Amino acid sequence: MFRNSDKEVLKELARDNYSSHKSRNRIAILAIALTTLLITAVWTVGISMISTISNYGESAPGPGCEGNINGTEETRQRLEELPKIQWADMARECSGAGLHNREFAGMDVRLLAPDKGYFGHNFVELIEGRFAQSADEIVISDTMAERLGLETVVGSQLELLVMIGADEKMVETPMTFTITGYYKNPLINISKVYDEIYTVPEFITQYNPAMGQRPQKIYVKLNNLNPLLMKTDVMNKLQEANDLAGGTGTGTKNTSSMGNMLLSVGPAILFVLFIGMSGYFLIYNVFYISVSSDIRWFGMMKTIGTTARQLNAVLMQQIRRLAVIGILIGIVLGYLVGNLIGPGVMRQTMYGMFYKTPNVLVVFLLGAGFSWFTAYISALKSLKLACHISPVEAARFAPKKKKNLFTILSFALSGMIFLVSCNAALGFSIDHMVERYNMKDARIFHKGFSWSLEEPYQPVSAELPEKISALPFVTNVDVAYQARLMPDYEETTMGRIYWPSLAQVSLDGALKKEMEFFAGSEEFMSTYGDTGLRDQAENNRWKLGVKGIPADLIQQELACEGFFEGTLDLEKFEAGEGIVWASPDSQEILRRDFEGSVHSGDKTTIGFYDAQGNCIEKEVTILAVRAKSEIYGSGDFGVGNIILSDTLFKELYPDYKQRISNIQIDTEEEITEEQHQQINSLMAEEYNSQLQLDSRYYTRSEMGAQKQTFQLIGFLLAGLLGIIGISNLVNTITSDVFSRKIELAAMQSIGMTRKQLWAMLLKDTLKFMSVSVVLMLISGGIMSYLVTQHPLFTGFNAGLFLVSAAALLLVVTGICIFMTWLLVKVLNKKTIVERLREIE
Amino acid sequence: MKILETKHLKKYYGQGSSLVKAVDDISISVEKGEFVAIVGTSGSGKTSLLNLLGGLDYADSGEVIIGGQSLLNMKDEERTVFRRRNIGFVFQNYNLVSMLDVYKNVILPIRLDGNKPDEEFIGKILSLLGLTEKVRNRPNQLSGGQQQRVAIARALASKPKIVLADEPTGNLDSRTSAEVMGLLQMTSREFNQTIIMITHNEEIAQLADRIIHLEDGRVVGGDIHVSEF
């Protein structure tokens, strides 16, 4: 009955109202565009950064898969038939061990013959040539070509030393291949220690049929993962597939628990929510000020008979128009940030290769949707005010000017992140890291003394330490030894595995009591697994690490290995009358407060067995006991539990020359790249792929890249949050001043000069911001301290914190001074009279 | 002694056919201690004239002289300081500072000048205006009439040469209006204060010593001294 035919007049009113609010429109578009830009930027840069870093950290052979299932070709075919498996590619090992080329010293280089599908699924992209098509053809990575000093020329010949045969019968066989192609290495972050060379499956049948009998790794991609579980369900689902297809075991890099995943993804989600809230308040304030200024117009419209629904339509048309423009601008800018700045920044970091821009369409839809939702919700309250205010209320209306708690918190958060970024990034000390990870200038160590091997143990030659000593820049060489019980292997479904070096000993007294305690402890067993400790306890024949360390090195070793109970009597140690005990409870789960634990000063007798079962008993005093391990591992203890002087070790183990575990090297000045290469060359002449070289030069170059990465990411994050914090601050100051403009006009009318007005506003603003500043300094200090304690960083730097805090205070003060000056200028564009007349 | 004088004051808005002569060649003078009402209907130019007298606006031509000083060539800051020291304002909407209590509102112009208030004088004003009990209250805790008293106290506190009151009873009921007018008369006599009041209400205007009628931006009908009646 009372239907309004009002579309045209409402459109006209909306147009008029829109064109009479030019500065509001500009500010609203800016606010919406900024919100959209930030949300889009976070989605494209922030979230893909997390998956990039995650991909980097979990980078392992088969980078495109979720894991591997061990089996035969039949297993692979069965897997492919399973609906839960998207693809399954076998990557056949052509040899039971890595390649033995001298150039690969310190690395594990594998000759593989994968299925054709493997390459595409695992990001192996050719940059030159083609894949191998016969058993004497190979493709190598760009990193391998660089290492070998090869130009990426197709058709070059390369000789590889392939271990043909199995187990003890493996023979190092030189074989010449034609390089038919080069690929971009997707495992760039581990390319210094691992690489892959590809040939065809026919290689195995032609040259190494022993490998054809073994189960191989089948890399699989699952398609039944629950996205909400963030890959924490991979292990279970792999096991299910393994059981259904008859596989013989699984392996995966996706071992993170839900808790760890939430820890990594949680901050990003919080960040997005934070931006959303900031956007909400930004846009809310813009519309609230606009409606407040127009409130009498709305009251007048109601007086002449405009309904709330009609006013709502007038406002919504404007809001839609502003939102569309703002969102379009924000999306374009967000695209630029996401696809130019984001990858550009990431390329400068060590994660560059793993950065993948997310699906642009999805990001745009999410960004636009979120921004539209934010704009609508934030305008809603103002809409309600405008549409439902009565004419009488409108005449009396005074806008609220309560301080924005959110602004205080948001600015405090921005400041805190800035302080943490400064301290973590700029405070990152490469020198500190070099000292942390290196006891001496360089160290050669044998992998078999800490890790299991796939091929028979090959000792370090006794001449190597002498050759190193002869180098002109070397000032000192120390050699550490470790006993190795023979036979040292176990047969498994994947072939023979050679265990880390352990000795066999008998114990009594305190040592025996402690080991028996571990053998009977469920907690110990569940942490370290059942390594046969109970059987060893029954027979009093224990498998423990026995190490021989030079007496003049032991103090430094203790300092690098952790915290020890007791003071080492160097004379007794050197004389072979005392030992250091490093318990097998390396993770300190049982602590040391159980009854019967070993203490410094305890006397004990240890029986040391040789390979023939002969035993030499030795009565010793336990001089020091490890109470807490150092996590950085620059010492030489490794899996050693009984630490003897090297003199005593040589007495007990006549085959000590075959048992060199570590060579510590001192140089005149800090070791240079050239010196590192010279030592590396000597090591390569060993033709022993079980050796690895670390040095201060190597750590320094790695940490340099890490520091650059931290700085770039840290400041990008601080920059984004800074924009949010500053926009909230500017927004709050502006809305506060505009809500008081009539009061301020009155003050000017009774004699307040512009300077006094500016000073008053500045004082109010600084007082308001002081809460934020106090919060940010306290939280920034605490968080900077906590974050920099993490092993990734190098500790809290108080001086740097003070400097960054001072810089931040300057920025805050500068913004407040500028904003208040600008607002006084803007306010005074209208005369006092015009402003006072606004109330009439 | 002339405390205020205007010479051929003009203020025009717009151009051509939309030209509005808000103040059209007004020359008036006010003696010290006089209570003058400027009366006119809406659009007669009385508020525009008040703004020119108070230095809130710039005339297109003519001169305003207060206490022997011309506002003509004063720059914005000079005017502001001059206004602070020599002119007290009472607005229709009170225009008190909501965050300050009564006492701080009253002494605000003095503080803006960097001076210490004459506590005895302030106390006298507050007592006279019945505000002694309310000194710690904020404006939102006061009635309209009380707020207007605070505005009057503020206008008087710096002992200005003139007080300009723009429709001081415009937002008040008749009883409160009468109270406020009574207070303005009393303070005028008590402090020998010159008060120029703008109003559209002839009845209210009768309470002043002299009435100046404005119409279309001009003084009409000559001055009327209320005491003549």
Q: Would you place residue A375 in the very low, low, confident or very high pLDDT band (cuts 50, 70, 90)?
A: confident
**Chain A residue whose CA is closest to B47:** A833
3-class DSSP state for residue A250?
strand
Which are the contacts of B97, defined by CB distance < 8 A and separation ≥ 6?
A: A743, A746, A747, B104, B105, B108, B139
Residue A688 lies in a domain: no
A747-772 as b/e: b if 16+ CB within 10 A: bbbbbbbbebbbebbbebbeebbebb
Mean pLDDT is lowest, of A101-105, A269-273, A676-680, for A269-273
pLDDT bin (cut points 50, 70, 90) of residue A840 is very low
Q: Binning pLDDT at 50, 70 and 90, where does residue B66 land? A: very high
**Band (A219; pLDDT cuts 50, 70, 90):** very high
Residue A805 confidence class, pLDDT cut points 50, 70, 90: very high
Closest alpha carbon to A828 in B107, B72, B80, B66: B80
Per CB-CB distance under 8 Å, the chain A contacts of B93 are 839
Binned at pLDDT 50, 70 and 90, residue A1 comes out as very low
Mutate to test the interface with A, among B112, B138, B148, B156 (most CBs of A within 10 A): B112
- Check whether B21 has a pLDDT greater than 60: yes
What are the residue boundaries of the structural domains of chain B, listed by start?
A: 32-54+75-228
Task: For residue A58, give the nearest of A200, A214, A238, A260 by alpha carbon.
Answer: A260
Model pLDDT, residue A82: 92
ipTM above 0.85, yes or no: no
**What per-residue confidence (pLDDT) applies to A740?**
82
pLDDT of residue A390: 66
Q: What is the pLDDT of residues A496-520, one digit of tens each?
A: 788 888 999 999 988 999 999 998 8
Window 170-209 of B: residues touching A by CB (8 A cutoff) are none
Of A231-245, A582-596, A615-629, the least confident: A582-596
Mean pLDDT for the stretch of residues A696-717? 83
A645 assigned to some structural domain: yes
In this prediction, residue B103 has a pLDDT band, given cuts at 50, 70 and 90, of very high
Q: Nearest CA to CA, how far is B77 from chain A (Å)?
A: 6
Supply the pLDDT for residue A373: 84
What is the distance of C-alpha A683 from the center of its chain?
32
CB contact B140 to A (< 8 Å): no
Most A CBs within 10 Å: which of B23, B42, B53, B56, as the mutation test of the A interface?
B56
Tell me the per-residue pLDDT of A669-678, one tens digit each, with 9 for 90 and over. 999 999 999 9
Query: Pick from A751, A831, A839: which is nearest to B112 by CB?
Result: A751
What average pLDDT does this structure show over A690-708?
Answer: 88
From B88's Cα to the closest Cα of chain A, the distance in A is 7
Burial class (CB in 10 A: 0-12, 13-18, 19+), B68: exposed
State mean pLDDT over A719-727: 77
Q: In which domain, by residue range, is A582 found?
A: 442-669
Q: What is the pLDDT of residues A407-455, one digit of tens each?
A: 787 788 778 888 888 888 888 889 989 998 899 999 999 988 888 887 7
Q: Which residues of A685-712 are buried (b: 16+ CB within 10 A; e: fewer)?
A: ebebbbbbbbbbbbbbebbeebbebbbb
Look at residue B206 and tell me whether its pLDDT is greater than 70.
yes
Specify the range with the lowest mean pLDDT, choosing from A359-363, A365-369, A521-525, A700-704.
Answer: A359-363
If one counts every other C-beta atom within 10 angstroms of the C-beta of residue B182, the result is: 11
Q: B154 — contact with chain A (CB < 8 Å)? A: yes
- A419 with A308, same domain: the answer is no
Neighbours of A520 (CB within 10 A): 12
Q: Touching check for B112 and chain A: CB below 8 Å?
A: yes
Determine the average pLDDT of the residues in A24-45. 79
Please indicate whether residue A839 or residue A228 has the higher confidence score (pLDDT): A228
Q: Bigger pLDDT: A213 or A289?
A: A213
- Contact residues on chain B for A754, CB-CB shorter than 8 A: 76-77, 80
Averaged over A650-663, what is the pLDDT?
93
State the Cα–Cα distance between residues A363 and A338, nearest whole angstrom: 10
Alpha helices in A6-93 (DSSP H): 7-19, 22-41, 48-57, 73-81
pLDDT at A334 over 70: yes
- On whether residue A580 sits in a domain, the answer given is yes
Q: Tell me whether B56 touches chain A (CB under 8 Å).
A: yes
A678 inside domain = no
- Give a yes or no: residue A231 inside a domain: no
pLDDT of res. A350: 59
Average pLDDT score over chain A? 84
Question: What value, to the nearest 5°, has the Cα angle with vertex A412 and ends A272 and A32?
Answer: 40
pLDDT in tens, A244-259: 998 888 888 766 666 6
* Number of independent structural domains in chain A: 4
Report pLDDT for A657. Answer: 93
Cβ atoms of A378 and A319 closer than 8 Å: no
Q: Measure the CA–CA gap between B182 and B145, rounded to whole angstroms.
A: 12
Nearest-by-Cβ selection for A749 from B77, B81, B89: B89
Long-range contacts at B47-50 (CB < 8 A, ≥ 24 apart): B47/B166, B47/B198, B48/B11, B48/B22, B48/B23, B48/B217, B49/B9, B49/B11, B49/B22, B49/B23, B49/B198, B49/B214, B50/B164, B50/B166, B50/B196, B50/B198
Mean pLDDT computed over every residue of chain B: 87
pLDDT band at A401 (very low <50, low <70, confident <90, very high): low
Question: SS3 helix, strand, coil % of chain B, rounded to 5?
Answer: 40, 30, 35
Kindly list the residues from chain B whose CB atom is less than 8 angstroms away from the CB atom of residue A830. none
Which tens digit of pLDDT belongs to each residue from A751-786?
999 999 999 999 988 988 898 899 999 999 998 888
Clarify whether residues A623 and A714 are in a common domain: no
What are all long-range contacts of A558-562, with beta carbons under 8 Å and residues at least 24 apart?
A558/A624, A558/A635, A560/A439, A560/A630, A560/A632, A560/A634, A560/A635, A561/A626, A561/A629, A561/A630, A561/A635, A561/A637, A562/A626, A562/A627, A562/A628, A562/A629, A562/A630
* pLDDT score, position A395: 59
- Same domain, yes or no, for A332 and A416? no
Question: Across the strands, what pairs with A71?
Answer: A216
Same domain, residue pair A639 and A735: no
* Same domain (yes/no): A32, A87: no
- Find out whether A498 and A489 touch, Cβ atoms under 8 Å: yes
Q: Please indicate whether residue A592 or residue A368 has the higher confidence score (pLDDT).
A: A368
Of A763, A781, A744, A735, nearest to A291 (Cα)? Answer: A735
A279 and A222: one domain? no
Interface of A with B in 461-480 (CB under 8 A): none
- Is the predicted pLDDT of residue B75 greater than 90, yes or no? no
Q: Which of A347-356, A626-635, B198-207 has the lowest mean pLDDT?
A: A347-356
Residue A685 clears pLDDT 90, i.e. is over it? no
Q: At A354, is the pLDDT very low, low, confident or very high (cuts 50, 70, 90)? A: low
pLDDT for residue A389: 72
Same domain, yes or no: A587 and A501: yes
pLDDT of residue A8: 75
| CA-based max dimension of chain B | 56
Three-state SS at A117: helix
**Residues of chain A contacting B91 with CB distance shorter than 8 Å:** 746, 749, 836
Distance CA B80, CA B94 (A): 19
CB interface of A with B, residues 710-749, below 8 Å:
742-743, 746-749
Q: Within a domain: residue A165? A: yes
Q: What is the DSSP letter of A44?
A: I
Q: Do residue A643 and residue A510 come from a single domain?
A: yes
DSSP helix/strand/coil, B212:
strand
**Torsion angle of C-alpha atoms A429, A664, A641, A486, degrees rounded to 10:** 140
| Residues of chain B neighbouring A748 (CB-CB closer than 8 A) | 80
CB contacts < 8 Å between A and B, how many?
56
Residues A412 and A396 grouped into a single domain: no
CB atoms within 10 A of CB A304: 7
C-alpha B82/C-alpha B94 separation (Å) is: 21
8 A C-beta contact, residue A769 and residue A322: no
When pLDDT is cut at 50, 70 and 90, the band that residue A403 belongs to is very low
The verdict on B55 touching A (C-beta cutoff 8 Å) is no
- Could you tell me if A93 and A122 lie in one domain? yes
Q: Which of residues 13-52 of B touch A (CB under 8 A)?
A: 51
| Main-chain dihedrals φ then ψ at residue A601, nearest 5 degrees | 100, -15
CB distance B182 to B152 below 8 Å: no
> Pairing state of beta strands A67-71 and A216-222?
antiparallel
* pLDDT (0 to 100) of residue A154: 93
Higher pLDDT, A278 or A400: A278
How far does the CA of residue B205 sit from the closest CA of chain A (Å)? 21
- Whole-angstrom distance, CA of residue A811 vs CA of residue A730: 13
Whether the per-residue pLDDT at A287 is higher than 80: the answer is: no
CB contact under 8 A, B91 and A833: no
Q: Are strands A503-506 and A542-549 parallel, antiparallel or unpaired?
A: antiparallel
By C-alpha distance, the chain A residue nearest B95 is A746
Could you tell me how many residues make up chain B?
229
pLDDT at site A594: 75
The CATH classification number of B32-54+75-228 equals 3.40.50.300
The verdict on A93 and A16 lying in the same domain is no
Q: What percentage of chain A reaches a pLDDT higher than 70?
A: 88
| B226 pLDDT above the threshold of 70 | no
**What is the model's pLDDT at position A483?**
94
**Which band of pLDDT confidence, cut at 50, 70 and 90, is reported for residue B227?**
very low
Most A CBs within 10 Å: which of B75, B84, B98, B107, as the mutation test of the A interface? B84
- What is residue A257's three-state secondary structure? coil
Distance from CA of B97 to the nearest CA of A (A): 6
Residue A685 lies in a domain: no
Q: Cα–chain-centroid distance for residue A662?
A: 30
pLDDT classification of A76: cutoffs 50, 70, 90: very high
Q: Is some CB atom of chain B closer than 8 A to the CB atom of A753? A: yes
Query: What is the per-residue pLDDT for A25?
Result: 84
Please give the backbone phi and psi of residue A65, each rounded to the nearest 5 degrees, phi first: -100, 175
Structure tokens at B219: 């003084």
pLDDT of residue A399: 59
- A411 with A517, same domain? no
pLDDT of residue B136: 94
* Residue of chain B nearest A396, judged by CA positions: B93
Residue B102, CA distances (Å) to A455, A538, B87, B130 in order: 93, 93, 20, 12
A357: nearest Cα among A127, A725, A664, A46:
A46
The more confidently predicted of residues A352 and A226 is A226
Q: pLDDT tier at A489 (50, 70, 90 boundaries)?
A: confident
Residue A397 binned pLDDT confidence (cut-offs 50, 70, 90): low
